[in-house]
Structure 1
Amino acid sequence: MKSINSPFRYAGGKFYARKLILEHIINHNYYIEPFCGGASIFFAKDKVTDNWLNDVDDELINTLIVIRDHPNELISLLKRRNCEISRIPTELVQNVEIGEVMPALKELHTFFKNEYMPQNDLERALKWYYLNRTSYSGIMNRQNMYWGYGDKYSMQPKNWGANILRTSEKLQDVRLTSLDFEEVIDQAPDGAFLFIDPPYFNADQDKFYQHFFSRNDHYRLLKCLKNNKSRLNIFITYDNVEEVRDLYSWAKEMYDKEWNYCIQRTDDQKEKTDKKGKRYKGKELFILNYLS
């Protein structure tokens, strides 16, 4: 299936690095992401025979499962006519036509963040998807989850349905799990290709994600990868710091990579202005246990 964009906004995602990463991916029949997040690389690359996306964030994985298995139900729940069914106050959407998708509104974002209590997996996906599409830079840590939508720079609600449907098509027959990364890596079949994109080694990543990745987790990952390096093809992306270089000195290839990216601050929390985010430069290490 052709390349598509990730269905989500995701802090630390590889959307802007996709082209650089794809240049180093070798032929494979089994593809695995133990830290899938927004899964930008899976959605950007050609789909192979077997695919496995995993993330410890079970709300993210639940949303992917609902998109894969029940896309039309999720799209229906996002529409104005079903607000009462899903217990969304109609006064928040009173200016929306019955058949239209709920608008991106700061008031709705606040409601989903602070008040909405899902009753089933479909409603969990509804809440997660709406907040992800309307939160600043897709940050899903509740403490740092702020309204961040702008018509000029964000995917508009009228396009959410098509986004869900094309995502669902690519997710068909894809294994989706919420396991610890060690279990995924150890279960990977011989010869599988693993794209490993863990949280940065040196970063305040607890501000962005629901699940904290400790220094001990980084060492667990290192040990697990070393134990499996002779039977798997492994591509790791990490922050470009000396500690990581030393820890992965056993790799066959290591590249310094840079790319431009933009954090979309579409609604400034202090100035209350609607503007495009600043451009930054991503700097990472690409670490490979194979020759590309």
Structure 2
Amino acid sequence: MNKPINSPFRYAGGKFYARSLILKHIPFHSYYVEPFAGGGSIFFAKEKVNKNWLNDIDVALINTYLIIRDTPDKLIQYLSGEKATKERHSYYKNDFKPQNKLEEAARWFYLNRTSYSGIMKPQNCYWGYGDKYSMRPENWPRNILRTSEKLQNVEITCFDFEKVISTVPDNTFLFIDPPYFNADQDKFYTHSFSIDDHYRLCSILKKHNDRIKFLLTYDNSTEVRDLYEWAIEIHDKEWNYTINRTDDQKKGQKKEDNFKGERYKGKEIFILNYDSNAELSQEPKQLVISF
């Protein structure tokens, strides 16, 4: 399966709304890697190539990817008959104790699909489902099966990003989407990313700059621009996105009122260590996805 699909997950900070902008800058490649896979919006939106590698430090996320890739039918069967309710969300969040990797994946998947913005950190994992804008449980099996198809023959690992970047073959293309430099990302992710980690990422990319190509997305800040002043291109990018809220997140409004979510502007920079115009004009054309 090589057609574009949506990510199977809701993911805070994911690039769902920026997909078309990012895809326009991706050069031809035969080896594709995401050291910070998260929800994998770009991987799922683009054409698979000869070699594909998704990595993330989040053990629970990677376990869910592996279960979906390798035993999708078992996950579908386990979730069969589930309803998206505040009570079930509370049960999976507070009471359910997984006994194996399948149950861990089922718990993670249920909470991710029913929590506000897919935030999985327990302190901020709030009920955030609405029938008008969320994927209904009866559609989860189709989501899982098509995701499993796309994940076939994809390497999926749970390593520190430095190990991934250091070991990829020459001429690999990496899409790199770390947590923001100047955001309180500890609210969203179960694994923190320190200032030292940001500097470590810059250092390892500079070390391997001559043998790989990368597109790095970051918040638009002076600190990040200074860190990557050695890069070939830095593009200012902006896009629209909407956050839907339920009654837990917006006082005085209830999900049954079907109120509309608030619109926001996504503002980031894309950092490239290659001349995108030259790469895109000289290399064979890949599938370009329109959204």
TM-score, normalised via structure 2 length: 0.92
Q: Secondary structure at the match of 1:186?
A: helix
Q: 1:177, 1:276 → 2: CA distance?
A: 38
Q: 2:252, 2:108 → 1: CA distance?
A: 27
Equivalence for 2:289: none
Does the 8 Å CA contact 1:32/1:192 hold for their aligned counterparts? yes
Match status 1:150 vs 2:130 = yes
Q: Secondary structure at the match of 2:74?
A: helix
**After the TM superposition, which residues 1-292 of structure 1 pair with which residues of structure 2 at under 5 Å, given as runs?**
1-79=2-80, 101-269=81-249, 270-271=251-252, 273-274=254-255, 275-292=259-276
**Alpha-carbon deviation of 1:272?**
5.6
Q: Secondary structure at the match of 2:239?
A: strand
**Alpha-carbon deviation of 1:268?**
3.2
Q: 1:220, 1:272 → 2: CA distance?
A: 44
Structure 1 residues 147 and 272: alpha-carbon distance in aligned structure 2, compared to 1, 3 A threshold? farther
Aligned residue type for 2:87: E
Q: 2:15, 2:60 → 1: CA distance?
A: 20
Q: 2:163, 2:245 → 1: CA distance?
A: 36
Q: 1:166, 1:240 → 2: CA distance?
A: 35
**Alpha-carbon deviation of 1:277?**
2.0
Does the 8 Å CA contact 1:153/1:266 hold for their aligned counterparts? no
Does 1 or 2 have the higher relative contact order (CA < 8 Å, sep 6+)?
2
Q: 2:268, 2:143 → 1: CA distance?
A: 29
How many residues matched?
271
Q: Note the residue ranges of structure 2 that are not aligned, 5 or more in a row.
A: 277-291
**Alpha-carbon deviation of 1:267?**
3.6
Does the 8 Å CA contact 1:31/1:48 hold for their aligned counterparts? yes
Q: Secondary structure at the match of 2:37?
A: coil
Does the 8 Å CA contact 1:198/1:238 hold for their aligned counterparts? yes
TM-score, normalised via structure 1 length: 0.91
Aligned residue type for 1:243: E
Q: 1:119, 1:264 → 2: CA distance?
A: 33
Aligned residue type for 1:103: K
**Alpha-carbon deviation of 1:264?**
2.1
1:209-262 deviation line (CA, Å, top 9, x unaligned):
000100010001010100011000010000001111111011111100000011
Q: 1:286, 1:134 → 2: CA distance?
A: 31
1:117-138 deviation line (CA, Å, top 9, x unaligned):
1000000000000000000010
> Which consecutive segments of 4 or more residues in structure 1 shift more than 2 A?
266-272
Does the 8 Å CA contact 2:31/2:172 hold for their aligned counterparts? yes
Does the 8 Å CA contact 1:193/1:233 hold for their aligned counterparts? yes
**Alpha-carbon deviation of 1:161?**
0.3
Q: Note the residue ranges of structure 1 that are not aligned, 5 or more in a row.
A: 80-100
Q: 1:242, 1:216 → 2: CA distance?
A: 17
Q: Secondary structure at the match of 2:75?
A: helix
**Alpha-carbon deviation of 1:55?**
0.5
Q: Secondary structure at the match of 2:36?
A: coil
1:80-104 deviation line (CA, Å, top 9, x unaligned):
xxxxxxxxxxxxxxxxxxxxx3110
